[in-house]
Structure 1
Amino acid sequence: MTGPVSTSAPSRWPRTWRPNRLEPTSRGGQPGHAARRSPAAGRRRRRASEARPPPSGRQPAVRTERCERVSPLNTLPSEWQGQAPTPLNPDTAFNGYICANVLHGLERLGVFELLRDEKSLDMDRFCETNGLDSAVFRALVGAAESFGYLDVRGAQVRATSVGEDVARYLGFFTWGVGGYHDIFASAAPVARGERRFGVDLHRDEGMVALGSAQADTALMRHILDEEIAGIDFRTLVDLGAGVSERVSRLVKARPGTRGIGIDISRPATELARDTVAGYGLAGTVEPVCADVLDILFNGQEIDGGDAADVVMSFMFLHDLLAAPERREEVVPRLRKAFPRAHTFLLADTTIRPRNEEGDGRLPVFSSGFELAHALMGVPLHTREEYEELFERGGMKLRRSVPFGAPHTYLFVLEAS
């Protein structure tokens, strides 16, 4: 969740939208301070502003949309407003449940990857090559055909247009069906207090990690690459780094820099050493097994952490904020733990804004993300709540960038 993508290629973005940088306005009405950018980026902005001086008495425009306290629907990418009409009638609801399981099953069997690369699949050959039960596989393919994702002619299978489009969203099915199936199925026992997440109820951590990585590759990575391209750093820290793929990729693209990948999972940290070696960065990127909460609240120090000038975290901030009694301290302690950091890149999924008038549509992912975290007892937050939390914690918000998955933002912050 590889490699920089050309910033000029429109095909990088979902067909229906390109993310707008949502520029914040400070209390005094002035545009937010810029995160530390490269000299070239600064010169480009200065030339642009000099070429278009603002009319007298008006602030210079930094983007066509600014993150003022207005109705969230006024600033949402159109795709985030969703395409699933509500109410979902019983036919749609039940078939959607089966369809999600079918798509996840075909993804795990490698069907969509093969169709992407070879455009067609021979069912007999595919089953023989992979040792599959032909009757079961044909039933999966037949179900996918009935849902409109595959076109079947004899033993030959091709993806329909919607089958091609869903490839970009398969990470959500890996995450939801593969990772959270037991959580969702246990909603009633959780509500009755008979089961509790982390005690006798668990998610599939491997599937959650895989789904997150798939979504990152398909929807988020190119946005991060564009944002970080204009930010100077010598030492880059990734909090919740997993196998340190992201920090390794970014350091590899920036010769002369170093990286630290921090994750609580010891197995992930061990795998991270293989990732780092694969990038040829042993001694340049250092995987560290540590609990970020221990760094923030228990005084644990990370070798080299005091030299970090850019700190990033992805889909992790809500976990750091889970305990209400220390929620207000998280941002100040981030600044204290990394005293030389001039830029923080913090991404997270927010609560979907509810339209008071009700537009009758739902996007992918949001309802599952919110319900899963409610069942786990982890509070979530709105975009506005995050922005206010950053301000109270002493960080200046430069922009909130829509970050691929619905209602997910990359908050670009600078330490004050």
Structure 2
Amino acid sequence: MTAVTPLVHPHSAIGDFTIRDVIEGQTAGQLIVAADDWGWWTTLLGGNTIAPTTGIQHTVAEGLVRAGFLVRRGHRYQLTHTGHDVGKNRGFVRVAVRGWEPTFRQLSDSPHREYIPAATEPGEVARGCTDIARRRPEIFEAIGHAIATGEPGCTIDLGCADAGRVTALAGIAERERFLGVDIEDGVIAAATAELDARGLGERITLLAGSVQPEPTPPAWLAEVDRDTVTTAMSFFLLHQLASDGDGIAAVLRGWMDWFPNLRRLVIGDGYLLEAPSWTQQPWFSPTYEIYHAVTGVRLWTRHEYEQAFADLGWIVRRRLEDHTMLVTTILELPRLSGPSADG
């Protein structure tokens, strides 16, 4: 009798990625984002339970139970330990499932192209990135306290997304004024309306435009009192600007030219962490790496970031890591710096 070769080796490594992971992961991702749109994760992370009221809500809740994220208690549902992690990390899920989906959808029609232009859902990416940045409150507290040190000035968020970050920081550094700039006009318009409705329009100003340094300054810069800006922040964007331009140092140098009294930088970005297989990388790192590879955007290592900081004279004041690959660095010029410290 001829032996039949199995399709999957019976002694495959425990860390192998399977077809079940692919299909059920996609389903779980859609349920996670839907629950977030309904406000469930905010409620659950606040220590409360949820009570679905419609057929579709019950279906989603039961799906989240079967995925291991919720547990049913009578007519109500509460978080499991895994569900708590899901709720805290829903920003990553939103970016991958909704924000970047239009880019990946182009792959099928683009087999002969070198790269695919990024085609995102700007609102989904903006909200997801804000959720990612705010999942670690202690990081925002460290940034806010650094900004609040000394005389108040103006802090600018270059690539501010939906203004969630500057809104959170405005509650910590209460004497500081804030600016936010983002290339997505629609996102800026919606965020401005939200700030005005909350009575924050006087402390936080949002402008639309590119933050990539070019030979000709961007139009929005003429609306800014450049001398008052003492802190510049950027999250999840420097890698792309550096890839499109002449590297990390060139982008930072351009921002320093824009704001002559800049004394503090806050840079949050994803570092390049490569491995032969996805299961050997921190979660979300493979998605982050592949997305940028197909769009032709270079990712940068920790050494490359730190070398650029040092070349421009910036001293690391604090370094705060979030799920290994995401690192927020608070930098100051030597005249303001004490001993550097890792967070």
Q: Residue 269 of structure 2 corresponds to which residue in structure 1?
A: 348
State the Cα distance separating 1:119 from its structure 2 match. 4.0
Q: Residue 204 of structure 1 corresponds to which residue in structure 2?
A: 121
State the Cα distance separating 1:227 from its structure 2 match. 3.5
Pair 1:297–1:395, CA change in 2 (3 A): farther
Aligned residues of 1:351 and 1:380 also touching (Cα < 8 A): yes
Aligned residues of 1:373 and 1:380 also touching (Cα < 8 A): yes
Aligned residues of 1:263 and 1:291 also touching (Cα < 8 A): yes
Higher alpha-carbon deviation: 106-115 or 315-324: 106-115
Q: Residue 396 of structure 1 corresponds to which residue in structure 2?
A: 314
Pair 1:168–1:251, CA change in 2 (3 A): closer
Aligned pairs for 1:199-238 (under 5 A) are 202-219=119-136, 221-230=137-146, 231-232=149-150, 233-238=152-157
Aligned pairs for 1:299-318 (under 5 A) are 299-300=217-218, 301-302=221-222, 303-318=224-239
State the Cα distance separating 1:281 from its structure 2 match. 4.4
Pair 1:276–1:194, CA change in 2 (3 A): same
Q: Residue 157 of structure 1 corresponds to which residue in structure 2?
A: 77
1:377 maps onto 2:296 in alignment: yes
State the Cα distance separating 1:311 from its structure 2 match. 1.2
User: Structure 2: which 5+ residue stretches go unaligned?
Assistant: 1-12, 335-343
Name the CA distance, whole Å, in 1 between partners of 2:14 and 2:272: 19
Aligned residues of 2:107 and 2:116 also touching (Cα < 8 A): no
Name the CA distance, whole Å, in 1 between partners of 2:108 and 2:321: 33
Aligned residues of 1:171 and 1:214 also touching (Cα < 8 A): yes
State the Cα distance separating 1:396 from its structure 2 match. 2.0
TM-score (norm 2): 0.79
Task: For residue 346 of structure 1, give the secondary structure of its aligned residue in structure 2.
Answer: strand
CA RMSD of aligned residues (A): 3.1
TM-score (norm 1): 0.66
1:412 maps onto 2:330 in alignment: yes
Q: Residue 68 of structure 2 corresponds to which residue in structure 1?
A: 148
Pair 1:193–1:342, CA change in 2 (3 A): same
Higher alpha-carbon deviation: 156-165 or 186-195: 186-195
Give the share of equivalent positions with the same residue, in percent: 21
Pair 1:266–1:406, CA change in 2 (3 A): same
- Alpha-carbon displacement from aligned partner over 1:163-197 (angstroms, at most 9, x marks no partner): 23321111111111121223334434444329832
Name the CA distance, whole Å, in 2 between partners of 1:349 and 1:195: 21
Name the CA distance, whole Å, in 1 between partners of 2:245 and 2:274: 22
Aligned residues of 1:403 and 1:409 also touching (Cα < 8 A): yes
Partner amino acid, structure 2, of 1:365: F
- Alpha-carbon displacement from aligned partner over 1:95-147 (angstroms, at most 9, x marks no partner): 33332233233333444344445744444xx10xxxxxx2x544433332222
Name the CA distance, whole Å, in 1 between partners of 2:170 and 2:45: 30
Q: Residue 168 of structure 1 corresponds to which residue in structure 2?
A: 88
Task: For residue 297 of structure 1, give the secondary structure of its aligned residue in structure 2.
Answer: coil
Name the CA distance, whole Å, in 1 between partners of 2:320 and 2:173: 24
Q: Residue 291 of structure 1 corresponds to which residue in structure 2?
A: 210
Partner amino acid, structure 2, of 1:209: A
Pair 1:85–1:382, CA change in 2 (3 A): farther
Name the CA distance, whole Å, in 2 between partners of 1:328 and 1:305: 20
Equivalent residue pairs, number: 316
User: Aligned match of 2:243 in 322, 334, 339?
Assistant: 322
Task: For residue 298 of structure 1, give the secondary structure of its aligned residue in structure 2.
Answer: coil
Partner amino acid, structure 1, of 2:313: M
Aligned residues of 1:189 and 1:195 also touching (Cα < 8 A): no
Pair 1:297–1:117, CA change in 2 (3 A): same
Aligned residues of 1:245 and 1:275 also touching (Cα < 8 A): no
User: Structure 1: which 5+ residue stretches go unaligned?
Assistant: 1-83, 128-133
